[in-house]
Amino acid sequence: MARYENPRYYAGPPLAAKEKVRAQDGYTWKSGQLARRDSGVWMPVKTNGTTAHGLFSDSQASATSSSDVWVERIMSTQTQFAMLACYGDSDYTTKRAVVGEGRGVTVSSNCCAVDVTDDTNALVVIQARLCDKEPFKNDSTDSPGTFVVTVKAAGLEN
C-alpha cells in the first residue's frame, strides 16, 4: 500500500509565520502540500516544473476552492524538509547517487514527493536520505523512502 504524505519541516532556518490567504478557485489542497503564488493568488503545486513558495499549514485540514487558508512561506534555500521519494520509484534504496542533485516534484492525491527520475524540472535539491541521517527511526527498506531536501533558489519567491 502506497504511503501518501506531504513534506514536513526538518531543520534549518524556520518558515515564515503563518499568514491567512485566499486559495485559488477550483483547486484542492492538502495540509503540508507545497504551495505557489501566481499573480498574487495561492494555489497548490500540482505539476513538475513549478515553483514553490510555501507550504499549506499543517494546522488546518484539506479544503477546496476560495477557502481562506494558512500558508507558511519558505524563506531560505537552507530550510530542510523531509520528503517522500516518488511512489512509482521502487528502486529508491539505491538512490544514494542522487544526493546533492536537483530533482523534480511529482504530485499524487494532493501529496508532493521527490521525483528521483526527473532532473529536467528540478525544484528541490536532495541533501540526504533520511535513513542515513536517522537510521534508528528510518530504515533503508522503508517504502517509499524519505529524502531531506531544500527548495532551489529559483523556486523561491523574490
Q: What is the pLDDT of residues 9-37, one digit of tens each?
A: 899 998 888 888 777 777 777 778 888 87
pLDDT for the residue numbered 4: 65
In angstroms and rounded to an integer, the radius of gyration of the C-alpha atoms of the chain is 15
Residue 44 makes CB contacts below 8 A (sequence gap 6+) with 27, 28, 29, 30, 33, 34, 35, 36, 56, 107, 110
pLDDT for the residue numbered 80: 92
Higher-confidence position of 57 and 116: 116
For the residues 71-85, what does the mean pLDDT come to? 87
Whether the predicted pLDDT of 131 surpasses 80: yes
* Cα 120–Cα 52–Cα 42 angle in degrees, nearest 5: 135
Whether the predicted pLDDT of 141 surpasses 80: no
pTM to 2 decimals? 0.83
Cell numbers representing residue 82 in the block: 523531509
- How far, in Å, CA of 5 to CA of 7, rounded? 7
Helix (H, G, I), strand (E, B) or coil at 155: helix
pLDDT for the residue numbered 158: 47
